[in-house]
Amino acid sequence: MKKLNTLNKMAHYQIKKLGKGFAYKVGSQWKEFPSDVKDHSDIIKYFEAGKNYANGAGHQFNTPSLEIVNDSGSVCKYYKVRKRNDEFYARQEDEKELLITLPDLYPIADQIDFLKDHSSREIEHEADRITDEGERLQYLMKSATPETLSSFDASVKERTNNEVIKAHCETHAQKYYSLPAIVEFQE
Average pLDDT of the chain is 85
- Global pTM value: 0.73
Instruction: Of 27, 22, 12, give the one whose Cα is nearest residue 67.
Output: 12
Q: Say what the pLDDT of residue 147 is.
A: 95
CA 69 to chain centre: 16
Helices (H), 5-88: 40-48
Q: Average pLDDT in the 12-34 region? A: 86
pLDDT tops 70 at residue 65: yes
Q: Where are the alpha helices (DSSP H) in 9-132?
A: 40-48, 102-105, 108-117, 121-128
Q: What is the pLDDT, as a whole number, of residue 13?
A: 83
pLDDT in tens, 90-138: 888 777 889 999 999 999 999 999 999 999 999 999 999 999 999 999 9
**pLDDT at position 93, please?**
76
* Percentage of the chain lying above the pLDDT 70 cut: 89
Q: Which pLDDT score is estimated for 4?
A: 33
In this predicted structure, the answer to whether residue 141 has a pLDDT above a threshold of 60 is yes
